[in-house]
Structure formats: structure tokens, C-alpha cells
């Protein structure tokens, strides 16, 4: 597995796999396979894939640590950028099919409907993370500030889940919401447990200083 993850073809394969949902949705839209309301189906599907990729990104570190597979970390940046790609397509689909790119109506709708406001806030917070997902940005910000900035992903996960919850509350359908909530709770809970465990771990014995021979 480690050899496969380090293979030069691994990243192109993962990239192609991440792009498959978009290709399928694009093909389905062109061939009228999105049902009676294709606009709503496209908006919801891109939102679903945003949340799925967010869960995948959050799962990289636990899987890397538990399976002792450091090579998984090399895919995290790409997966994070796909989160932004799908949320951008989600926002563009809403702005185009629902609002006809009318900026004034979009602003009014964001202010009027809390679930859209929360989703838009998550998009705004995700934007600087995508913009700083490159080596040049990491060098300019410094590792510590870059890590602090990218911890916003935890808040973004909560906002994305709240956006999904409020969207489904209109139809009183929380089955899928519960699945995502459980996954995100486990992934964030693992991080809390790891941090708490490190703080509670007893300090090791101090090394005995070397003595010089007379």
C-alpha cells in the first residue's frame, strides 16, 4: 500500500477519481438525467459532494496515524482543493439556476435565509484556506501561522453541517444529516482525544548528563 501511495501515478489517479462526480453530474445535466428538477438536483448534489470531500480531508490524518501510513499526507492538499472546487460549483449552481446571477437578489436571499447565510460563511472561510494551500503561501505565512489558519477547517465543517441540517429541516429529513454528523463527530473527537492524551501522558525520565572522563 505504501509503495502504491508513493507511486508517481498515484496523484493523477486520485485527481481523476475526485473529478468523477463532477464529470458524472455534468454528463447527467447534458443528457437530462437529473430528474424533474435538474437545477435543484445539481445544487444539492454539489453540496453533498462538498460535505463528502470535507469528511475525506478530515479523515486523512486519523487514517495516516492509525495505519502508520505517512504517505497519505501527500494527498491532503489536493483533497482540500477539491472541497473548494465542489463548494464553488455548488455556489455557482445556486447563483445561476436559482438566482439568475442577480447579485442584488443573491444578497437579499443570503440575508433572509439563515441556512444560506451559514453556507456562504463557510465558503468565505474556506477561500483563504484554498488560497494558501501552496508552498509559497506556507513560506510567506510561516508554518505556525499557516497551521493556525488551516484549523478553520474544523469551524467550516461545523458550519457545513449546520447548513445541511437547516436545509433538510424544511422536509423534516435528518437521516443523512445524522450520518454526516456522526462521521464529523468521530473525526473531530479523535483529534480531541489525541491532544488530551498527549497532555495527560507522563513525562519520560530525564536523560542522565554525560560525565567527562578524568
Which of 9-23, 35-49, 58-72, 165-179 is predicted with the least confidence, judged by mean pLDDT? 165-179
Terminal alpha carbon distance of the chain: 53
Mean pLDDT of the chain: 91
Tell me the pLDDT band of 41, cut-offs 50, 70 and 90.
very high
Residues 6 or more apart from 74 whose CB is under 8 A from it?
A: 5, 6, 11
Angle between helices 76-93 and 114-131 (to 10 degrees): 140
What average pLDDT does range 152-169 have in this prediction?
Answer: 95
Tell me what pLDDT residue 209 has. 44
pLDDT more than 70, % of the chain: 93
pLDDT band of residue 202 (cuts 50, 70, 90) is low
pLDDT of residue 196: 85
pLDDT at 64: 95
211 pLDDT more than 50? no
pLDDT band at residue 205 using 50, 70 and 90 as cut-offs: low
Per-residue pLDDT averaged across 39-61, rounded?
A: 96
Do the beta carbons of residue 71 and residue 5 sit within 8 Å? yes
Is residue 11 scored above 90 in pLDDT? yes
Q: Per-residue pLDDT averaged across 57-80, rounded?
A: 95
Query: What is the pLDDT confidence band of residue 42, given thresholds at 50, 70 and 90?
Result: very high
DSSP run (H or E) holding 123: helix 114-131
CA dist., res. 8 & res. 179, Å (int): 34
| 144: confidence class by pLDDT, cuts 50, 70, 90 | very high
Confidence (pLDDT) at 210: 41
pTM, whole model, 2 decimals? 0.90
Amino acid at each position: 500500500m505504501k509503495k502504491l501511495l508513493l507511486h508517481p501515478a498515484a496523484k493523477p489517479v486520485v485527481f481523476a477519481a475526485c473529478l468523477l462526480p463532477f464529470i458524472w453530474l455534468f454528463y447527467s445535466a447534458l443528457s437530462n438525467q437529473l430528474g424533474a428538477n435538474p437545477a435543484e438536483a445539481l445544487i444539492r448534489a454539489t453540496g453533498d459532494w462538498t460535505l463528502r470531500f470535507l469528511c475525506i480531508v478530515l479523515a486523512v490524518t486519523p487514517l495516516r496515524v492509525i495505519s502508520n501510513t505517512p504517505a497519505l499526507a501527500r494527498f491532503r492538499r489536493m483533497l482540500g482543493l477539491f472541497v473548494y472546487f465542489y463548494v464553488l460549483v455548488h455556489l455557482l449552481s445556486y447563483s445561476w439556476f436559482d438566482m439568475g446571477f442577480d447579485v442584488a437578489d443573491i444578497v437579499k436571499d443570503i440575508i433572509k435565509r439563515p441556512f444560506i447565510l451559514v453556507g456562504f460563511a463557510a465558503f468565505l472561510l474556506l477561500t483563504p484556506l484554498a488560497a494558501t494551500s501552496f508552498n509559497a503561501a506556507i513560506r510567506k505565512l510561516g508554518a505556525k501561522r499557516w497551521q493556525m489558519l488551516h484549523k478553520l477547517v474544523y469551524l467550516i465543517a461545523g458550519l457545513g453541517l449546520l447548513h445541511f441540517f437547516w436545509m433538510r429541516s424544511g422536509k423534516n429529513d435528518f437521516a443523512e444529516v445524522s450520518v454526516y454528523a456522526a462521521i464529523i463527530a468521530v473525526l473531530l473527537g479523535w483529534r480531541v482525544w489525541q491532544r488530551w492524551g498527549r497532555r495527560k501522558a507522563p513525562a519520560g525520565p530525564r536523560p542522565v548528563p554525560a560525565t567527562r572522563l578524568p
